Structure 1
Amino acid sequence: MTTLFEPLTLRSLTLPNRVWMAPMCQYSSPASGEDAGVATDWHHTHYATRAVGGSGLVLTEATAVSAEGRISPYDLGLWNGRQTEALRRVTRAIAEHGAVPGVQLAHAGRKASTGRPWDGGGPLRQDEGGWPVVGPSPVPFAEGHLLPAELSTGRMGEIAQEFADAARRALEAGFRVAEVHGAHGYLLAQFLSPVSNRRTDAYGGDHAGRTRFPLEVVDAVRAVWPDELPLFFRISATEWLAEGGWTPDDTVRFAADLLAHGVDLLDVSTGGNVPGVAIPSDPGYQVPFAARVRAETDMPVAAVGLITEPGQAAKILAAGEADAVLLGRQLLRDPYWPLRAARELGHTGEVLPLQYRRAA
């Protein structure tokens, strides 16, 4: 039996296998009005299909903890009861089809207020439906992007509370895993990196200063997230800079900090905070960063990034490089990839839904 289809228990929650769906923005919620940020039929079908397809954990796209924290006006949100109620239908469908529903809680910071990718993806002015953006320092993401207002410590406390409030709503909506988004150049990643964090107060400067606010957010979420349920953190392990920036060494050190603050698994990605850097595109190019965290700390990890073939995924786990794999675009191309992987790898357990077993 391949370990891809062995259960994994974190705290009191057992995930049925180790093939998981990575968070991927759908930009498919209404952009304004009382339904802004609300899950639609698209979200229900999209996520339920991956559960039917055999993914053991289905993580939602980056789900904004506030309207200000959306990447685009069309992002999913969890800042009010209407959004909570709409997501109950989504989590129920995921669970009914054998997967665990997970939510990624996010604030985009200086990368907020942008258009959808198929509309160009550029920054939006207020007359285009955009809004002012914030960050650790008044440093825009790239030329032509909005200048963020530097967050006061008071506003940072409010944002930490927004993460906690969104986590409470996520629990009410039926989610069983919560992930704090600290990767890809969004707000918490902006605090971690000296490229975007130029603060001279207690929230900038050295490693302890730059990690202080992300850890405060983790503490706020862990305080309201049940002890029996796991909390994940997604990180960009490197910014792919020749010098400076957030490094793999920083990631290993921070993983130990996160573990001490109640995080149960590190979701290891890379990049996103510095535009124009050269990023490899080899299969599994991000796996070594996850493997290093797993080897040098006690933190369980999930690996992601151009994991496309069943044998490749199985070897990652067999080699002890990760505890689970997260598939992104591969699951957009093939929602039933886990079922195909089980067949190709000779897994003899019951993976196919009951309704499909006559096709085995």
Structure 2
Amino acid sequence: MQRRTFLFAVSAVAFSGSLWQEAAMASAGTSPYGPLLPPDANGVALPAGFTSRVVARSGRAVGGILWHPAPDGGACFPDGSGWIYVSNSEIPLAGGVSALKFRADGSIDRAYRILNGTNLNCAGGATPWNTWLSCEEIFRGRVYETDPYGSRSAQPRNAMGRFKHEAAACDPDHRVVYLTEDEEDGCFYRFVPGTWGDLSSGRLDVLCAGPMWKKVPDPGPAVFEKQTRHQVSDALHFDGGEGCYYAGGVCYFTAKGDHKVWAYDAAGNVLGTAYEGGGTLDGIDNITGSRAGDLYVAEDGGNMEINIITPDRVVAPIMRLDGQGSSEITGPAFSPDGSRLYFSSQRGTSGERAGTGGITYEVTGPFRR
């Protein structure tokens, strides 16, 4: 990850006034891929040289199963000469996770379920040991560690806290997992496992003023007890925590109510921003990145774009879905070789909250990598 510009933005919180604004604000500019062309046959507007295809639709057969409703957070995993894309289902009671297995030529080999019977599985995060952390966005929700390859049963990781989970990002450098919380006064957490690679036990910390980390006294409070975000008096609060992505010593996380892409420099213990609302990026939600150092941020509503934020702080759309303004873009993730970007429109053209119109896409092209 190229860190110099983003870390300059992060360090800018030490200043004030116009200097801080100049340093911290990414600005609209020209995409490194050029302007968006008119929408293709799939309704996807892309730069020249890029193509799209629909790989799955909610309620329709794909790879031997019916693709789940309300597709949300996702990630890709290597699988021999092919790869696997996993996708959460953000519906009550029957949420869970499905997986699409791709062959080396990009064709779909099969699809299968890796988690069942859970609630409103929203976002999550991949681990360095190739498991998928699927997060429940409900009161006292859990994190479930799942196996993308379908060999092992999913396990709840209660030590990671019982709250309205959104996303997770593993930091192998400091051996912690960062967690976001989708509440109007949500917190930013880190889970410190007793043994790296084993998430069954450990300590849950919350980011506080300073910034500094403090232990959450009771990560799994009962219904009528003080919830995690209210247990530490000087905890920092973020309005609607969403996506979370770690690279190059920095954890980037989004907050839809703050209209910001926050950036936590783990090595320097500094909190700042990589983007603040007001530009081309609206409805800030899921986030991922590429090996070239670019961030890709999906919109919940807005004009249904995925925007790139380059290391020199240029923000520009690289994809737009037309006619789907009542939906949201979810689950952006690159294939292991960086040549394909997967994402979903959770409610598609129907806009139904049940997510029966969900569409999962693949975009192929000359991505920077």
Between Structure 1 and Structure 2, the one with more strand by share is 2
TM-score calculated relative to the size of structure 1: 0.29
Instruction: State the structure with bigger RCO (CA 8 A, min sep 6), 1 or 2.
Output: 2
Between Structure 1 and Structure 2, the one with more helix by share is 1
